[in-house]
């Protein structure tokens, strides 16, 4: 009887742990994503509630190699970063990458519209810029989704639309071309403040990368719990049968 009680208690604890962990943002230090900011990303992605796991947080002295070591091959991600312009104003910006980061792939080219699902965002100013779709058959303006090399941090687009340098701090930039909410190529303005590009003068502070997974609906938790309880009842039945 004691063993059965322990088993039942273990079932409840396990399910409770699943509910807590799937909604948590794991990882060391403070997350750049407040609940409100996470809700915005969920709205823009359009897949409901998400479990975001912090797989990389920039530390003092980190380079692009540290970013790639933590992020390459981990599936789709949100990269979130503090970016400061030459006037000293800071925004929280970043991008959604539907593919895994890589140290060797170069440009991830997406010719089909169905593959052009990445987007950039400015959480401070509350807007997102989707990857441009084709105007005509074979249009390649919006094709260059991300740039993947060992000496680059999380970098998006052709120009680059969001460029994080090797030291993950000095000499970054934003030259919008591949991404634009207007549905047409931009004129090389910045994701931060909309100013026309005038050099690699963006400084990056904190940078975090989050892997993405869906959170099961409440009904799913109920099904899991029901299944575990059925297994528990069957186990107790077998024990009772052996006693008789």
Q: pLDDT band for position 230 (50/70/90)?
A: low
Distance, in Å, from the CA atom of 192 to the CA atom of 214, rounded to the nearest integer, reads 29
Q: What is the pLDDT of residues 170-221, one digit of tens each?
A: 999 999 999 986 655 566 899 999 999 889 999 999 999 999 998 875 544 4
Q: Are residues 87 and 189 in the same domain?
A: yes
Q: Are residues 147 and 170 in the same domain?
A: yes
Q: Are residues 225 and 156 in the same domain?
A: no
Q: What is the pLDDT of residues 31-85, one digit of tens each?
A: 999 999 999 999 999 999 999 999 999 999 999 999 999 999 999 999 999 999 9
Q: Is the pLDDT at 10 greater than 50, yes or no?
A: no
Q: Are residues 18 and 38 in the same domain?
A: no
Q: Are residues 32 and 140 in the same domain?
A: yes
Give 212-220's long-range contacts (Cβ < 8 A, gap of 24+).
212/45, 212/50, 212/51, 212/52, 212/75, 212/76, 212/77, 212/78, 213/22, 213/50, 213/51, 213/53, 214/47, 214/48, 214/49, 214/50, 214/51, 215/22, 215/23, 215/48, 215/49, 215/50, 215/51, 216/22
Q: Are residues 189 and 229 in the same domain?
A: no
Q: Are residues 238 and 126 in the same domain?
A: no
Name the domain count of the chain. 2
Q: Are residues 56 and 75 in the same domain?
A: yes
Q: Are residues 14 and 74 in the same domain?
A: no
Residues of the domain holding 62: 24-214
Q: Are residues 84 and 44 in the same domain?
A: yes
Q: pLDDT band for position 134 (50/70/90)?
A: confident
**pTM, 2 dp:** 0.79
Distance, in Å, from the CA atom of 79 to the CA atom of 54, rounded to the nearest integer, reads 10
Q: What is the pLDDT of residues 102-133, one digit of tens each?
A: 999 999 999 999 999 999 999 999 999 999 99
Q: Are residues 137 and 203 in the same domain?
A: yes
Q: Are residues 67 and 99 in the same domain?
A: yes
């Amino acid at each position: 009887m004691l063993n059965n009680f322990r088993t039942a208690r273990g079932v409840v604890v396990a399910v409770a742990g699943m509910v807590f962990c799937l909604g948590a943002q794991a990882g060391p230090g403070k997350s750049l994503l407040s609940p409100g900011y996470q809700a915005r990303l969920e709205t823009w992605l359009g897949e409901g509630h998400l479990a975001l796991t912090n797989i990389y947080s920039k530390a003092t002295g980190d380079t692009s190699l540290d970013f790639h070591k933590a992020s390459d091959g981990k599936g789709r991600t949100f990269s979130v970063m503090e970016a400061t312009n030459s006037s000293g104003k800071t925004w929280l910006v970043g991008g959604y990458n539907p593919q895994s980061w890589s140290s060797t792939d170069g440009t991830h080219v997406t010719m089909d519209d169905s593959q052009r699902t990445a987007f950039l965002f400015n959480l401070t100013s509350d807007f997102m810029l989707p990857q441009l779709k084709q105007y005509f058959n074979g249009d390649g303006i919006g094709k260059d989704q991300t740039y993947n090399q060992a000496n680059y941090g999380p970098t998006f687009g052709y120009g680059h639309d969001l460029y994080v340098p090797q030291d993950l701090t000095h000499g970054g930039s934003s030259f919008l071309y591949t991404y634009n909410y207007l549905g047409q190529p931009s004129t090389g303005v910045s994701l931060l403040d909309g100013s026309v590009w005038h050099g690699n003068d963006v400084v990056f502070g904190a940078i975090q990368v989050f892997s993405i997974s869906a959170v099961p609906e409440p009904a799913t938790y109920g099904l899991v719990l029901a299944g575990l309880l059925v297994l528990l009842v069957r186990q107790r039945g077998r024990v009772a049968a052996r006693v008789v």
